[in-house]
Structure 1
């Protein structure tokens, strides 16, 4: 149902059962999947690819031109997966020639006034709380959560199931399954409550805790900790995910609980 006071470009591809409220603006080269709701005064710009059953609240702006001086008008896109909610006045920029797309997965919640910059890749089931500001090229794994008013530096990676405290400055990579807080951002344990809610067993959670004891609590540097984790701890998907994440980190990972940089 498209309200008569909404503007929908004739070349936009709108699926069945989409609701577009008055004063919403849908530009050309936009695709919107079945069952999605677009609130009043939302602006859906060129290059938007929005999935099924999404909810985009009033004032949100999707697929705006990147705030990047290197952007020269190249053709880029913004992908939003199924069942994702984007609350009031959140803004999402489309990609640049670096990746040609910005991606947000399915079942995500992007709360009010959050910003997702160009070329970010957000996994499934992620939550960005109110006023999170995410710079370009950030990676955020599945089930990760960022607390309100946090700022994430460009090219930073946030691992799956990680949870970052509100008001954080995220300058370093945050490994999977962890909790991060304080200033400078530091390891404060693993996200055990979140893992239990998602079906991880006590044995799996204990194994993840042991991984991070080696990494953060035994006085080892990164290279020593990774070698011993691989040699001394049983193989598992979680162990291999942590090892791969840290070994491929270009920014380095967040500090340990004592506030010391990782080497």
Structure 2
């Protein structure tokens, strides 16, 4: 514990906790003895940090968030896992993020500059990239993987072991059961792929030329109506024809990777 930390008299900080420079711990917080808080982290009030939890600098954590508790997995026997959260993350009211389990590598990991809005939940063994946003009451099952700068709309539920690619967007009130490709836009119950996340990509500074390449790749990978060519064949054709196009190559790599869930695909065309 450092001398520069400001700790409210009602807070409990167990022996062994490591607090960075300029940490602020508000009223009625409880910090476990294996917790590490980075410089300038701010716990507003009524925050519980437990287990082997490490939180990066400049975190802002709001009331009734509970981070680092054991996995809500009935197969788990309470084995000690870890939770690692990067720099600059915003955690709003009532958020829960669980530690990892031995079956998932023992660690739940969150990148830098993420935002978890009120009452969202991150299950055990999830891997979340940088700049990810979970809106209010988003629920992630265990072992979910989310790429950088993806966003999920409010009240959406994501099935365990689903992958969500970088820069993708899931609309609110969705149930996502399958892997969502990078740059994709999906929604619905159960969610299906609409196309490209054009609004998000433009906000991220994608040029018209980059978007044109992605549009053409999407059109060829996910054509309207049934075709004779399989998805596997379309993947190889697009990989060949767009060789050197970084965004398309990222899309192809995602599609080629081993997956545990089905692919979130466009809704079949009506005859």
> Normalization by structure 2: what TM-score?
0.92
Cross-structure match for 2:36: 31
Q: Using the alignment, how far apart are the partners of 2:190 and 2:55 within structure 1?
A: 36
Distance of aligned partners of 1:259 and 1:165 in 2 relative to their CA distance in 1, 3 Å threshold: farther
Flag structure 2 segments of 5+ consecutive residues without an equivalent: 1-5
Q: Using the alignment, how far apart are the partners of 2:70 and 2:248 within structure 1?
A: 39
Q: Using the alignment, how far apart are the partners of 1:183 and 1:90 within structure 2?
A: 24
Question: Could you report, residue by residue, the CA deviation over 1:60-111 in whole angstroms, capped at 9, with x for unpaired residues?
Answer: 0000111112222323110110000000000010000021110111100000
Report whether the alignment pairs 1:134 with 2:155: no
Report whether the alignment pairs 1:151 with 2:157: yes
Report whether the alignment pairs 1:60 with 2:65: yes
Report whether the alignment pairs 1:211 with 2:217: yes
Q: Using the alignment, how far apart are the partners of 1:221 and 1:62 within structure 2?
A: 44
Q: Using the alignment, how far apart are the partners of 1:212 and 1:194 within structure 2?
A: 16
Matched residue SS, 1:107 = coil
User: Would you say the 8 A contact 1:181–1:188 is kept in 2?
Assistant: yes
Cross-structure match for 1:92: 97
Deviation of the 1:36 alpha carbon: 0.6
Deviation of the 1:182 alpha carbon: 2.4
Matched residue SS, 1:217 = coil
- Structure 2 residue corresponding to 1:186, chosen from 173, 179, 192: 192
Q: Using the alignment, how far apart are the partners of 1:85 and 1:93 within structure 2?
A: 16
Report whether the alignment pairs 1:245 with 2:245: no
Q: Using the alignment, how far apart are the partners of 1:229 and 1:105 within structure 2?
A: 31
Report whether the alignment pairs 1:114 with 2:120: yes
- Structure 2 residue corresponding to 1:71, chosen from 63, 73, 76: 76
Report whether the alignment pairs 1:258 with 2:264: no
Deviation of the 1:259 alpha carbon: 6.2
User: Would you say the 8 A contact 2:176–2:187 is kept in 1?
Assistant: no
Deviation of the 1:199 alpha carbon: 2.1
Q: Using the alignment, how far apart are the partners of 1:259 and 1:251 within structure 2?
A: 22
User: Would you say the 8 A contact 2:32–2:49 is kept in 1?
Assistant: yes
User: Would you say the 8 A contact 1:215–1:221 is kept in 2?
Assistant: no
Question: Could you report, residue by residue, the CA deviation over 1:176-214 in whole angstroms, capped at 9, with x for unpaired residues?
Answer: 001001233111121122112222211111111111101
Flag structure 1 segments of 5+ consecutive residues without an equivalent: none
Q: Using the alignment, how far apart are the partners of 2:262 and 2:235 within structure 1?
A: 14
Cross-structure match for 1:221: 230
Matched residue SS, 1:189 = strand
Give the RMSD, CA atoms, in angstroms. Answer: 1.4
